[in-house]
Structure 1
Amino acid sequence: MKIIINHSSMQPIYEQITDQIKAMIIDGTLKEEEMLPSVRTLAKELKISALTVKKAYDFLEEEGFVVTVHGKGSFIAKNNQGLLMEERKREIETELEEVIRKARISGLSEEEIRELFELIMEE
């Protein structure tokens, strides 16, 4: 599994791991019921603390992306299309908020932003 850690990022390492694993689940790189590397293996591979990887796996489990079977490991949860769609919507919402923020900083009015959005939607 290819995970890239940016040590100069302001985003915590466990969140970087979580986000990248979610992205791999959403795009189909990781399939349902596929086993994730053990906490120790991934920690060694990424040269980070096992506690950081454990925190990422726990967070993924809380969100329903991963299921952990004690003594066996962590696995990608059976595909929950609603959960995946909600995650995609959240990502799009975040990106749209960023675009709107940039438009406002650039001095565009609410009406100009709406017009641009509608123009793009027509294409």
Structure 2
Amino acid sequence: MNLSVSFTTGEPIYLQLREQIKNQILSGALPEGELLPSIRNLALTLKISVITTKRAYDELEQEGLVASVSGKGTYVSGSNKESIREIKYRQLEDRIKAIVVESRNIGLKPQEVVQLFNLFYGEENA
């Protein structure tokens, strides 16, 4: 697992950590059942607070992406398929909203956007 934090961006460290782990889970880079580094080891490696690391892990657990097993560690959740699907669905909705805004800005009609979608969707299946 490749993680890094920036102390100069202004974004809270726990959010940086949470998003990086979340993205690796969603992309499949961290597969189901994968053991994450212990909170203490990760904090030591990244030179951050244990509390910061714990907060990131706790939020990932609330999202259903990881599960903590007392005395064993934190694992990429095996029951997260629906959570991952929901997160990816929301991300897709956000991208579609951006496309709608952009297409309106350049004066495309809905039918033209659908035609583009169908064209590219067909290319992916070919």
TM-score normalized by the length of structure 2: 0.77
Q: Which amino acid aligns with 2:9?
A: S
CA distance in 2, matches of 1:97, 1:7: 32
Q: 1:90 to 1:76 in 2, by over 3 A?
A: same
Asked if the contact 1:100–1:113 (Cα under 8 Å) also holds between the matched residues in 2, the reply is no
Let me know the Cα RMSD of the aligned residues. Answer: 2.2
Aligned-residue offset at 1:122: 2.1
CA contact (8 A) 1:15 1:56 kept: yes
Fraction of identical pairs, as percent: 35
Query: Residues 103 and 113 of structure 2 are in contact (CA less than 8 Å); yes or no, is this contact kept in structure 1?
Result: no
Partner of 2:115 in structure 1?
A: 119
Q: Does 1:93 align with 2:89?
A: no
Distance in structure 1 (CA, Å) of the matches to 2:44 and 2:116? 46
Q: Which residue of 2 aligns with 1:54?
A: 54
Q: 1:116 to 1:10 in 2, by over 3 A?
A: farther
Compare 24-33 and 37-46 and name the one that shifted more.
24-33
Q: C-alpha displacement at 1:44, in angstroms?
A: 1.5
TM-score, length-scaled by structure 1: 0.79
Unaligned runs of 5+ in 1: none
Residues 42, 54 of structure 1: alpha-carbon distance in 2 compared, 3 angstrom cutoff: same
Q: How many residues align?
A: 119
Matches within 5 A, 1:1-123: 1-101=1-101, 107-109=105-107, 112=108, 114-115=110-111, 117-123=113-119
Q: CA separation in 2, counterparts of 1:36 and 1:85?
A: 21
Q: Can you list the C-alpha shifts for 1:63-122, whole angstroms capped at 9, x where unaligned?
A: 111111222211111143221111111222233334445566xx445xx26355323202
Structure 2, gaps ≥5 residues long: 120-126
